Amino acid sequence: MNIGIDIGGTHIAIAVVEKSNIILQKEKVYNHDFKINLLNSLENFIKDTITDILQEYKIEKIGISIAGTIQDNVLLYSTNLGLKNIDFRKILEPYFNIPVTVNKDSFCAGRAEKEYGCLKGYDRNAIFLVIGTGIGGIRYLNGNIYRAGYGHMVIEKNGRQCKCGKKGCFETYASIKVLRDKIKEYLKVNDIDGKELYKYLLLNKENNEISRIVDNYIYDLCIGLTNIIDIDLPEIIGFGGSFSYYDDIFIDKIEETIVKNNLLFHKTKMPIFKMGKLKNDAGIIGATCY
């Protein structure tokens, strides 16, 4: 058995994982006190939780998934977390005497979907996009995994300002956050959580204004997708992050929108589109696959 740790932008989760099964999971949302010294709080939470787990389970390795830029198991920086140059491996390995690996969240989610989920069996040329607050991506080519910067491909000249510094990036048009903001604006509400948004869109499918917002969103998404398809010619594109919960609302519209608007150059190269199977558990499961 292994331990997976998912250090996200707003919460941390620690799970005992056996293959694709989560045996038990503990979570902590970063409240005000926790955030005063985030690194310290994370370290304490991890040490306490794992110490408890080790009373009951024999653990072979610990895998960490982090929203940030990772090199050689070191977190170089994470804008979301405000952390820089953190070596969790160095902190945790001697403490527990168990091997620790650290990987980027999209790498972990993509790896889990490749081993156990929607990309299983697609070894030649597969792409996985994690669509949530932003867009992350990875590519599998002949069995090897590659990092990909799909979220920051420009789809509109002088377009929306991206937090990366560029303008018109794919993620400023096609992240779930963009759709959520549009619906919030339409409903004149301050917030709507993921589950509410999904229910609302499903119940109001026939509403003209709502379907216009969703169709526009999918159109922008398809511009980015077809750029990726025409360059990389993948056999499949899998979707993770909160986007993967919208199977019955989005998935059929994607191919429809591409064909109707003539967005693809390589007409015969339409890939399969699939939602991730493991949903938000993909990161924590994938963290243990390295």
| 152 vs 277, beta carbon nearer Zn ion | 152
Q: Are 36 and 48 in contact (CB under 8 A)?
A: no
| 164 vs 251, beta carbon nearer Zn ion | 164
Choose which of 162, 218, 225, 237 interacts with Zn ion (CB under 5 A).
Answer: 162
CA distance 231 to 248: 28
Does the protein bind Zn ion through residue 89 (CB under 5 A)? no
Shortest separation between residue 106's beta carbon and Zn ion, angstroms: 15
Number of residues that bind Zn ion (CB under 5 A): 5
The encoded tokens of residue 251 equal 């998935």
Q: Which long-range contacts (CB under 8 A, 24 or more apart) does 70-75 make?
A: 70/102, 70/103, 70/104, 70/107, 73/100, 73/101, 73/102, 73/103, 74/102, 75/102
φ, ψ dihedrals at 98, nearest 5°: -130, 140
| 168 vs 194, beta carbon nearer Zn ion | 168
Shortest separation between residue 124's beta carbon and Zn ion, angstroms: 29
| 164 vs 192, beta carbon nearer Zn ion | 164
CA distance 16 to 110: 19
Shortest separation between residue 225's beta carbon and Zn ion, angstroms: 17
The contact pattern for Zn ion, residues 140-159, with x = CB under 5 A and - = no contact, is ------------x-------
Write the DSSP string, 163-218. TTS-BSBTHHHHSHHHHHHHHHHHHT-S---HHHHHHHHHHTTT-HHHHHHHHHHH
Shortest separation between residue 130's beta carbon and Zn ion, angstroms: 15
Shortest separation between residue 158's beta carbon and Zn ion, angstroms: 14
Shortest separation between residue 177's beta carbon and Zn ion, angstroms: 13
Which of these, 52, 227, 239, lies nearest to 150 by C-alpha position? 227
Q: Are 97 and 91 in contact (CB under 8 A)?
A: no
The three-state secondary structure class of 82 is coil
| 88 vs 173, beta carbon nearer Zn ion | 173
- Residues numbered 164 to 183 that lie near Zn ion (CB under 5 A) are 164, 166, 169
| 134 vs 286, beta carbon nearer Zn ion | 134
Give the binding site for Zn ion (CB under 5 A): 152, 162, 164, 166, 169
